[in-house]
Structure 1
Amino acid sequence: MELLLLGATGAVGREVLELALNDPSIPTVTAPTRRPLTPHDKLHNPVVDFTMPLPAAGWWKADALLCCLGTTIRKAGSQAAFRAVDHDLILEAAQKAHDYGTPVMVLNSSLGANSASRNFYLRTKGETEDDLRRIGFRRLALVRPSLIDTDREEARFGEKAGLIASRLLRPIIPAHYRAVSARSIARTMLDSVLGSDGVRVIESEEIR
């Protein structure tokens, strides 16, 4: 099974990459990034400028596309810049992979993603999901984690406070809202590559 991984340098993407490179059933992982990754015998790492139109290349064809692309409004600098990544870039990459014959896509989305939401972040996530459904992948898995339990340096103060509270109150927080580890999300994404055709939504409480 050959994988195409987008977002390999983020918290979840790094975990997906590590798991995939150590999985004997996965001979090749293609992970385009802005800067070169640490070389590995199984890793194909095209260097891509994601601010430009995505290149035509044979590596878009894989058995499955796993997409961990994403940013925050604060990090992007504006709502428009956030949407350019979390909607436009994801859709462009997904369409490119589909056009090259990749039949399966797994997206790391968000708890509460809903195109009808009044919250800009969740509405954007929901619109991305809706538009991916229209592309026509044979199998599309939408993974919707709650707060990601990670120690990433760029985490906002509110995220850090939420993680501390989530860890302390985990026994009494409903499973749907508990923070989940980046490693658990990565495992769930890889597991979701296989399965029946159609669209599957994986809510946060299903992530293990």
Structure 2
Amino acid sequence: MKKIAIVAGGSGLVGMQLLHQLFQEQAYDVVIAVGRRELALKHGKLVQVKVDFETIQNVDLEDKLRENDFGGRNHSLISSLNSKIFAIHAFCTMGTTIKKAGSKEMFEKIDHDYVINYAKWVRALGATKFLFVSAIGADQQASFFYNKVKGKTEAHLKQIDFTYLGILQPSLLLGNRKEVRIGEDIGKILGRIITSFGLLKKYKPIPDYKVAKAMIFHALEKNELRLEYIPSMAMQDFD
């Protein structure tokens, strides 16, 4: 069966790596990137759809695919979606920081509400698998607000009836961010120092491309588990 990948968060660190790897992955015929704005990317597999994650559940994907499609490029994709001949795998790499979001309330809206809205939307489209980038230490009982929100998101994703839910919990991410995150940069340095002595290996910083590779690998696996947690240490093996 042919496969469609739907990606939310493609402008971010892991999301951009994921898109480029999906373009190269022969198992996927189409890659749909959904987001608030179009990405500066061009590829034969790529279809971009602009959405508001606050109201995404009201979005008709077929209508969106017909918008400005004067050459009929999306006609076969629309037909395939309607005939249900494609397997749909959804990927979510959305995430921000409290500083960038502007408040705890806005952070939770992006990292929880928008993720859940997107998950429900792709499930209604027929997505059977959902891969989500969470964080190491995610726990809805955590005292640390960031981890608490991530844990809450994980808990609510479990309530959606995907055939397979893969929750990736990376440590600090390594890659070329557009913005400077001083706290993360200090954490990466400390992480390298600690792990160089063989201590707390599960906290070793991980390159963005390894997380992206792990997402695709687990999406394409014949998963017998409905729910799978993929820890950061397991993702370090992907090169």
- Of the structure 1 ranges 113-122 and 28-37, higher mean CA displacement relative to structure 2 is found in 28-37
| Post-superposition offset of 1:56 | 2.3
For residue 45 of structure 1, give the secondary structure of its aligned residue in structure 2: strand
The letter for the 2-side match of 1:205 is: M
The aligned counterpart of 1:13 is: 15
8 Å contact kept, 1:175–1:204: no
> Alignment partner of 1:75: what SS?
helix
Are residue 56 (structure 1) and residue 57 (structure 2) matched?
no
Shift of 1:125: 0.3
Contact 1:6–1:32 (CA under 8 A) maintained in structure 2: yes
Moved more, 95-104 or 156-165: 156-165
Question: TM-score under structure 1 normalisation?
Answer: 0.93
Q: Structure 1: which amino acid aligns with 2:226?
A: G
Gaps of 5+ in 2: 66-80, 82-86
**Structure 2 Cα separation of the partners of residues 169 and 129 of structure 1:** 28
Superposed displacement of residue 47, structure 1: 1.9
CA distance in 2, matches of 1:12, 1:207: 13
1:169: Cα distance to partner?
4.2
Of 230, 234, 238, 1:202 maps to 230
Q: CA RMSD in A?
A: 1.8
How many Å separate the matches in 1 of 2:14 and 2:36? 17
- Tell me how far apart the structure 1 counterparts of residues 36 and 123 of structure 2 sit (CA, whole Å): 22
Aligned to 1:68: 93
Quick one: which amino acid aligns to residue 18 of structure 2? V
Query: What does the per-residue CA deviation read over 1:140-165, in whole Å, with 9 as the maximum and x for residues that have no partner?
Result: 00000011112313232111112223
Confirm or deny: 8 A CA contact 1:117 1:123 kept in the other structure. Answer: yes
Amino acid at match of 2:19: L
Which runs of structure 2 are paired with 1:178-197 in the superposition (5 Å)? 178-193=204-219, 194=221, 195-197=223-225
Show the counterpart of 1:82.
Answer: 107
The offset of 1:101, in angstroms, is: 1.3
Select which of 79, 99, 107 maps to 2:124: 99
User: Normalised by the size of structure 2, how large is the TM-score?
Assistant: 0.82
Consecutive unaligned residues of structure 1, counting only runs of 5 or more, are none
The CA distance in 1 between the partners of 2:212 and 2:155, in whole Å, is: 22
Larger CA Rg, structure 1 vs 2: 2
CA distance, structure 2, for counterparts of residue 109 and residue 155 of structure 1: 20
Number of aligned residues = 208
Aligned to 1:110: 135
2:131 and 2:204 map into 1 onto residues whose CA distance is: 22
Q: 1:136 Cα deviation (Å)?
A: 1.1
Q: CA deviation at 1:53?
A: 4.2
Distance 2:116 2:36 in 1: 18
Letter in 2 for 1:167: R
Please give the alpha-carbon distance, in whole angstroms, between the structure 1 residues aligned to 2:180 and 2:217.
27
Task: Name whichever of 187-196 and 134-143 sits farther off.
Answer: 187-196
Q: State how far apart, in whole Å, the 2-side matches of 1:158 and 1:148 are.
A: 12
CA distance, structure 2, for counterparts of residue 44 and residue 127 of structure 1: 31
Shift of 1:44: 0.8
1:163 to 184, 188, 201: 188
Deviation per CA, 1:67-100, whole angstroms, max 9, x where unpaired?
A: 0011111100000000001000000010111122
Cα offset, 1:19, TM superposition: 0.4
**Runs of at least 4 residues off by over 4 Å:** 51-54
State the secondary structure of the residue aligned to 2:119.
helix
**Percent same amino acid among aligned pairs?**
29
